[in-house]
């Protein structure tokens, strides 16, 4: 059975609007990525930046390690980004999450590395311009930057009551989450 055969079962919670899905990827603080090599699963969480124009995720990591061994053997990944609004008094867990499938690549082109790190810093840093000014080209050359090209996205909004989300007034790093309004 292929991935295309599966759909979010709870139609009342399914989000199909691309902009809304992209907002989750742009706002989440990290993604969790599942990998597989020789029938052995593995999983890592990665601080990321989502590039809307290229529909891809950038991350950085050490130059060696298990995830890179997996990536070389099989670069297909499955991932998740979550906006976690927590547990409510009504015993609901309020979240919006995106699942994606894609392929993980290592970036070797220096100008793309610069771009990827900029996307990452603009998403995660409280003072991106200061952080970006500190990046030295020689350091960038030694930095391992990865890219996940997204092929498919699904989204589930686990927010049964919109008014409850408004009450929570969810804010990430000083930025209100549009999705929660």
Confirm or reject binding of residue 61 to ligand FAD (CB under 6 A): yes
Closest distance of CB 17 from ligand FAD, Å: 27
Residue keyed to tokens 């309004």 = 181
Closest CB to ligand FAD among residues 62, 133: 62
> Phi/psi of residue 167, each to 5°?
-60, -40
Closest CB to ligand FAD among residues 15, 60: 60
Confirm or reject binding of residue 100 to ligand FAD (CB under 6 A): no
The Cα–Cα gap between 29 and 9 comes to: 26
DSSP code of 75?
A: -
Confirm or reject binding of residue 98 to ligand FAD (CB under 6 A): no
Region of 173 please: left (phi>0), alpha (psi -120 to 50) or beta.
left
- Tell which residue, 54, 7, 48, has the closest CA to residue 24: 48
Neighbours of 68 (CB within 10 A): 16
Size of the site for ligand FAD (CB under 6 A): 11
Q: Helix (H, G, I), strand (E, B), or coil: what is residue 43?
A: strand
The Cα–Cα gap between 42 and 53 comes to: 29
Q: Which of 67, 113, 115, 147 binds ligand FAD (CB under 6 A)?
A: 67
User: Which of these segments, 55-63, 94-102, 134-142, 172-180, binds ligand FAD (CB under 6 A)?
Assistant: 55-63
Confirm or reject binding of residue 59 to ligand FAD (CB under 6 A): yes
Confirm or reject binding of residue 66 to ligand FAD (CB under 6 A): yes
Q: Which of 41, 65, 160, 162 binds ligand FAD (CB under 6 A)?
A: 65
* Site for ligand FAD, residues 11 to 40, rule: CB under 6 A: 30
The Cα–Cα gap between 36 and 171 comes to: 34
Closest CB to ligand FAD among residues 65, 86: 65
Interface with ligand FAD by CB under 6 A: which residues?
30, 44-47, 59, 61-62, 65-67
């Amino acid at each position: 059975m292929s991935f295309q055969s599966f759909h979010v079962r709870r139609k009342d919670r399914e989000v199909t609007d691309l902009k809304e899905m992209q907002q989750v990827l742009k706002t989440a603080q990290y993604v969790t990525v599942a990998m597989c090599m020789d029938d052995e699963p593995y999983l890592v969480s990665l601080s990321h930046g989502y590039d809307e124009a290229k529909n891809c995720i950038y991350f950085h990591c050490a130059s060696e390690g298990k995830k890179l061994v997996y990536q070389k053997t099989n670069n297909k990944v499955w991932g998740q980004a979550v906006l976690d609004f927590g547990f409510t008094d009504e015993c609901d867990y309020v979240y919006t999450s995106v699942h994606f499938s894609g392929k993980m690549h290592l970036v070797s082109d220096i100008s793309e590395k610069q771009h990827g790190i900029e996307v990452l810093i603009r998403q995660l840093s409280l003072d991106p311009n200061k952080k970006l000014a500190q990046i030295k080209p020689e350091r960038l050359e030694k930095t391992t930057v990865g890219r996940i090209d997204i092929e498919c996205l699904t989204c589930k909004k686990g927010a049964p009551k919109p008014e409850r989300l408004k009450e929570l007034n969810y804010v990430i790093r000083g930025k209100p989450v549009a999705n929660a309004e």
